[in-house]
Amino acid sequence: MISQELNDLLTRTGPGSDAGAVMRHYWQPAALSDELAGNRPVVPVKLLGEDLVLFRDNDGELGLIGRACPHRGADLCYGRLEDNGLRCPFHGWHFNRDGQCVEQPGEPDGSRMHERILNTSYPVIEKNGIIFAYMGPGAPPEFPNFDCFRAPDTHVFAFKGMWDCNWLQAMEVGIDPAHASFLHRFLEDEDPEDSYGKQFRDKAADTDIPMTKLLRDYPRPDISVEETDYGMRIIALRHLGNNKTHVRITNQIFPEAISIPMSSEMIITQWHVPIDDEHCYWYSMFTSFDKPVDKEVMRAQRLKEHRLPDYAPLKNKTNTYGFNPEEQKHKTYTGMGLDINVHDQWAVESPGAIFDRTKEHLGKTDVAIIKYRRMMRAAIASLSEGSPDALPMVGGEDVKTIYGPISNDTIGDKDAWREAFETSDRARREGCNDWDATI
């Protein structure tokens, strides 16, 4: 358990907050490219507690500016998308993608007042289906050479979903390898042939054992963590007997993303982005080392579970997450259906919007959570000492030299598990013919 003061320090991300200042040193997912695909590319974005509006201008360039009109506060999401910018419908003030007011058609002829009116604006960049924003000081950092950014657009599918809770409890489920044996337990195994686009439905490594069976049969992983240049590597070992060990390598990418294996073909890079302190979006990039991603199938699977335009899940606390006690007896550990996102959503939402961590009791399996909180505290301390370069991937070494990270499931000899996951990852990368995945 931690003090209330520390809980506040770690969870609050609005303007002026300490953890929020750390996050503002990194590119943040702001929207899916899909959201701007309609014939009026203007969407509201709430990010780190700030109300913004994202639009694509006549040049096809993106702008992310303050949502409230600097004149008298009207909502620019209803703006007229014209003249290469966004025009407020209240008095016609016109803003370009940099937030500069370029025209005030009701002010006296020749007035130059508009030159002094600058709306908030943040740099944005589009990467493989996600529009990222930089809300921090100075120049934005470079993007690391992670697989989700290196792979061509054809091999990456992006999606998102809203959760009604603080970002930290959402992220903490992603760095907790023990829960997969319980929360996502299926009492019956599906045919792994039907696993496309689904987590934990493939075969374990190169065996015929369904991943669901392996997780069920070996619920006590031996978990360790290693600090890395991008954050932390999390190693979960499940010793299978016969001198064999299942190795699952997942990662915390500082400050609020994870990278995990999904199947032999794909990995998932997932950000847990604060909307405000009581709501967050998960943004996932599914990256394929094999065939191009079947985006139609992946999108349809997920749209079945979410409503647009806000990507809120259809199963949620208002309908008890679809909880079915019969199903819980016979089919799933949760009784909440087969979509593991719903299980995670229940696990992170049910402790309350901001979990009161003065009441928690962390065990041995929570080692990555404990380590992560230390890393966030260290980052906060570095900023307060005026050393932003000490933050992972912000200063110092060239961010472009950071590859991977290795996200992998494999089975190897008990005493050679490290060689096993390195060899298996290398083989997958060497077998990737459509893009250069080698590191």
Q: Which residues bind ligand FES (CB under 6 A)?
A: 69, 71-72, 74, 88, 90-91, 93
Smallest gap from residue 48 Cβ to Fe ion (A): 24
Q: How far is the CB of 45 from ligand FES (least distance, A)?
A: 19
Question: Of 40-48, 106-114, 190-198, 336-344, which segment contacts Fe ion by CB under 5 A?
Answer: 336-344
Nearest-approach distance from CB 75 to ligand FES, in angstroms: 9
Contact 32, 130 (CB under 8 A): yes
Min. distance of Cβ 106 from ligand FES in angstroms?
A: 8
* Shortest Å distance, C-beta 44 to ligand FES: 16
Question: Minimum distance between the CB of residue 197 and ligand FES, rounded to whole angstroms?
Answer: 44
Interacting residues of 163 by C-beta distance below 8 A, sequence separation 6+: 170, 279, 280, 281, 282, 313, 345, 348, 349
Report how far apart, in Å, the C-alpha atoms of 103 and of each of 16, 113, 168, 332 are.
32, 9, 42, 60
What does 74 bind: Fe ion, ligand FES, none (CB cut-off 5 to 8 Å by kind)? ligand FES
Tell me whether the omega of the peptide bond preceding residue 15 falls within 30 degrees of 0, making it cis.
Answer: no
Write out the H or E segment, with its range, that includes residue 282: strand 279-288
Give which of 179, 195, 156 is closest to 32, Cα–Cα. 156
418 contacts which partner out of Fe ion, ligand FES, none, CB within 5 to 8 A by kind?
none
Q: Nearer Cβ to ligand FES, position 91 or 213?
A: 91
**CB closer to ligand FES out of 80 and 198:** 80
313 upstream amide cis, omega within 30 of 0: no
Amino acid at 417: W
Strand 403-404 to strand 145-146: parallel, antiparallel, or no bridges (unpaired)?
parallel
Query: Which of 341, 281, 237, 367 is closest to 43 using CA atoms?
Result: 281
Contacts of 376 (CB under 8 A, 6+ apart): 10, 19, 22, 255
Tell whether omega for the bond before 177 is within 30 degrees of 0, i.e. cis. Answer: no
**Segment interacting with Fe ion, rule: CB under 5 A, options 12-20, 342-350, 357-365, 378-386:** 342-350
Choose the binding region for Fe ion from 200-208, 291-299, 312-320, 344-352 (rule: CB under 5 A): 344-352
Residue closer to Fe ion, measured from CB, 120 or 365: 365
For ligand FES, the closer CB: 93 or 311: 93
Q: How many CA atoms lie within 13 A of 423 on its CB side?
A: 12
Q: In the complex, what is the shortest distance from the CB of residue 180 to Fe ion, in angstroms, rounded to a whole number?
A: 6
- Whole-angstrom distance, CA of residue 212 vs CA of residue 29: 31
Nearer Cβ to Fe ion (171/375): 171
* Cα distance between residue 426 and residue 437, in whole Å: 9
Residue 204 interacting entry, from Fe ion, ligand FES, none, C-beta within 5 to 8 Å by type: none
Given ligand FES, Fe ion, none, residue 130, with its beta carbon under 5 to 8 Å by kind, binds none
Rule CB under 5 A: is residue 344 a binding residue for Fe ion?
A: yes
3-state SS assignment for residue 50? strand
Closest distance of CB 81 from ligand FES, Å: 15
Report the partner that residue 71 touches, choosing among Fe ion, ligand FES, none (CB closer than 5 to 8 A by kind): ligand FES
CB 197 within 8 A of CB 338: no
Closer to ligand FES at the Cβ: 105 or 152?
105
Show the beta-strand stretches assigned E in 89-155: 94-95, 101-103, 124-127, 130-133, 145-146
Which stretch, 80-88, 208-216, 340-348, 353-361, contacts Fe ion (CB under 5 A)?
A: 340-348
Dist CA 132 CA 27 (whole Å) = 6
Contact present, 55 and 97 (Cβ < 8 Å)? yes
Cβ proximity to ligand FES, 93 vs 146, nearer residue? 93
Of 91 and 244, which has the nearer Cβ to ligand FES? 91
The one of ligand FES, Fe ion, none whose footprint includes residue 411, by CB under 5 to 8 A per kind, is: none
The minimum distance between CB 105 and ligand FES, in angstroms, equals 9
The residue range among 218-226, 343-351, 363-371, 393-401 that interacts with Fe ion, by the rule CB under 5 A, is 343-351
- Closer of 344 and 425 to Fe ion (Cβ): 344
Which structure tokens are listed for 254? Answer: 């500082």
Q: In angstroms, give the least distance from the CB of 47 to ligand FES.
A: 22
Give which of 321, 323, 131, 282 is closest to 199, Cα–Cα: 282
**Residue with smaller CB distance to ligand FES, 121 or 284:** 121
| Binding-site ranges for Fe ion (CB under 5 A) | 344
